[in-house]
Amino acid sequence: MPRSSDAVLSQVLTVAQMRAAEEDLIAAGTSVDALMQAAGRGAGEWVRRIAGGGSVTVLCGPGNNGGDGWVIAEYLREHGNSVQVVQAREPATEAARNAKALYGGAVVSADSVTTRDVFVDCLFGSGLTRALPDDLYDMLCGLAGRHRHRIAIDVPSGIDSDSGVALNADLPHWTLTVALGAWKHAHFAMPACAAMGATRLVDIGVTAVPGAARVLHRPRIPAPAADAHKYRRGMLGLVAGEMPGAGLLSATAALRAGAGYLKMAAKLAPAGVPPELVVTTDVDAMLADARVSALLVGPGLGRSDEAARLLARTLHAGRPTVIDADALVLLRPAMLTGAPCVLTPHEGETAALERAFGLSGQGLRRERAGALAEATRAVVVLKGPDTVIAGPGGEMVVSPRASSWLSVAGTGDVLAGTIASRLATNGQALRAAEEGLWLHGEAARLCGPAFTAGELAHAVQAALKECLE
């Protein structure tokens, strides 16, 4: 099977898109059985890596996910593992029946399974449409509890593939989840993604699906050109408000994310300003400075009428702007000029924006981010444990789960400063959002546990080092 391009392997598909992609492969001459063999053998190899020479139990359901299970079981048997299959239901598809017919090992009842090394869940995959009935739920949880390692194939049983919603309560936690053919939204959406363990993708030759979402990847960031000077590298103007300390956190990160010059406009210069940060009290002069290539407004802005006026003046400058924190609560449709903007709301700020822009606030997080991007014509970074980025042209980027240690005060200011620094450097809102979000997540990984927002801001530099071309 030829190896697909990185772009194809980073797409994230809905069930409908996956089925359409599968139909395309079939129309091009590949059989369903061949796809199942490719998927099952690829997944079987991952199971073998976890199992070593150990014993494996595969739980097979009625659909093609169950079919994959029969292929995996035969693959492991051929490689000398002790394998047994628990057949939860008779195969109901032709491909699954064919896969079962090729299996030459043991089939046992769930009750007979004692403690073994690896459990493989092929009960249901992307075709799950409703909660597991009691007998299958008990079988799944009982078997999962009797194995040292648990591997879910494609999507863990009980999880809705498109939303990541758990259709049953108290589902097992997995050591590894092996996605087949393409990533599904559940692999990046809460609560499902938190229980999946490590995630791996098996390539079965699926081609590019137009309009598909994609996974956030490490960006490639060039070093400044040989003849670079500070202004051409990007000058970021930071509009501070009533509490300029929050802006300092943004500035600390922005200084380490690539911009060549950082200026902060504040009524009162805050204490502890690093010497590299130029502070001015003349906000209008800063906003009028043609060398300023991007602005950041929001961290520590406050929510007073004066803050709202300052926000309106800032946006009136018509520069590429990152709008964060209090500015998201004060933002009104008439303030936007069409300049490239990045909005970085958490849940609460998203709800405020939805009210201000007349949106229903209904739907999945990615759908809400998409609606907000369309309404504002801005790039929206909807923050949380499962952060998504939506672009005004329908672009959708989902982020692998970042460190939960990010749930500490001030990390949002760091994210805003990082994105703003990238925006000042490259002028492209979507690209800046992706680069900034990746740098933020990587900085958190590098920091280890229990870091402060200030430490995170400093670690942005080490994250940037990993992106240099």
- Residues binding ligand ADP (CB under 6 A): 346, 383-385, 387, 402, 404, 406-407, 409-413, 415
Tell whether omega for the bond before 62 is within 30 degrees of 0, i.e. cis: no
Query: Interacting stretch for ligand NAX, rule CB under 6 A, among 122-130, 380-388, 411-419, 457-465?
Result: 122-130
Interface residue with ligand NAX among 30, 82, 93, 199 (CB under 6 A) is 93
Return the CA Rg of the chain.
Answer: 25
Q: Which positions from 112 through 171 interact with K ion, judged by CB under 5 A?
A: 121, 125, 152-153, 157
Mark the segment that binds ligand NAX (CB under 6 A) among 63-71, 113-121, 328-336, 412-420: 63-71
Q: Is residue 17 part of the contact set for ligand NAX (CB under 6 A)?
A: no
Residue 67 labeled ligand binder: yes
- The entry of K ion, ligand NAX, ligand ADP, none near residue 121 (CB within 5 to 8 angstroms by kind) is K ion
> Considering the rule CB under 6 A, would residue 163 count as an interface residue with ligand NAX?
no
Those residues whose C-beta lies under 8 Å from the C-beta of residue 28, and which sit 6 or more positions away, are none
Q: Quote the least distance from Cβ 183 to ligand NAX, whole Å.
A: 12
Question: Is 412 marked within a binding site?
Answer: yes
Nearer to ligand ADP, 141 or 462 (CB): 462
**Near ligand NAX by CB under 6 A: residue from 44, 61, 270, 340:** 61
Closest separation between CB of residue 26 and ligand NAX, Å? 9
Asked if residue 68 belongs to a known ligand binding site, the reply is yes
Site string for ligand NAX, 373-412 (x = CB under 6 A): ----------------------------------------
The residues that touch ligand NAX, with contacts defined as CB under 6 A, are 18-19, 22, 35-36, 39, 61-68, 92-93, 124-133, 153-155, 180-181, 204
